[in-house]
Structure 1
Amino acid sequence: MLNIAVLVSGGGTNLQALIDAQATGQIQNGAISLVISSRTDAFALERAKKAGIPTRVLLRKGFAEQADYDAALLALLKEFQIQLVVLAGFMTIISETVIRQYENQIINVHPALIPSFCGPGFYGLHVHEAALEKGVKVSGATVHFVNEVCDGGPIILQKAVEVLPDDTPETLQRRIMEQAEWKLLPRAVELFCAGKIVVENGRTRILD
Structure 2
Amino acid sequence: MLRLGILVSGGGTNLQAILDALDQGVITNAAVSVVISNNSGAYALKRAEDRGIPAVCISPKCYDNREEFHKALLAELQKKQVDLVVLAGYLVAVPPMIVEAYPNRIINIHPSLIPSFCGTGFYGLRVHEGVLNRGVKITGATVHFVDTGTDTGPIILQKAVEVQQGDTPEVLQRRVMEEAEWKILPEAIDLIANGKVSVQDGKVQISR
TM-score (norm 1): 0.98
Q: Which residue of 2 aligns with 1:28?
A: 28
Quote the offset at 1:66 in angstroms: 1.9
Report the counterpart of residue 128 of structure 1 in structure 2. Answer: 128
Q: Note the alpha carbon deviations across 1:21-43, whole angstroms, 9 max, x for none.
A: 11112221110110001101111
How far the C-alpha of 1:74 sits from its partner, in A, is: 1.1
1:52: Cα distance to partner?
Answer: 1.4
Distance in 1 between the 2:186 and 2:68 partners? 31
1:89 aligns with: 89
Q: Distance in 2 between matches of 1:160 and 1:145?
A: 19
Contact kept? 1:5, 1:77, Cα under 8 Å: yes
> Hey, what's the Cα distance between the residues in 1 that align with 2:82 and 2:58?
16
Residue number in structure 2 paired with 1:147: 147
Is 1:99 paired with 2:99? yes
Give the C-alpha shift of residue 63 in structure 1: 1.5
Gaps of 5+ in 2: none
Residue correspondences, number: 208
Q: CA deviation at 1:49?
A: 1.1
C-alpha deviation, 1:54, in angstroms: 0.7
Aligned residues: CA RMSD:
0.7
Cα deviation for residue 65 of structure 1 reads 2.0
Residue 48 of structure 1 aligns with which residue? 48
The answer to whether the 8 A contact 1:7-1:89 is kept is yes
TM superposition shift of 1:196: 0.6
> How far apart are 1:70 and its partner, in Å?
1.5
Tell me the TM-score normalised to structure 2 length.
0.98
Aligned to 1:5, the other structure's residue is in SS state strand
Match of 1:71 in 2: 71
**Separation in 2, partners of 1:27, 1:133:** 36
Q: Deviations over 1:124-150 (max 9, x none)?
A: 000000000000000000000000110
Match of 1:169 in 2: 169
* Structure 1 gap ranges (5+): none
Contact 1:60 1:92 in 2 (8 A): no
Percent identical residues: 54
- In the TM superposition, what whole-angstrom CA distance separates every residue of 1:167-192 from its partner, at most 9, and x where no partner exists? 00000000000000000100000001
> Counterpart in 2 of 1:7?
7
* 3-state SS of paired residue (1:76): helix
* Alpha-carbon distance in 2 for matches of 1:11, 1:89: 9
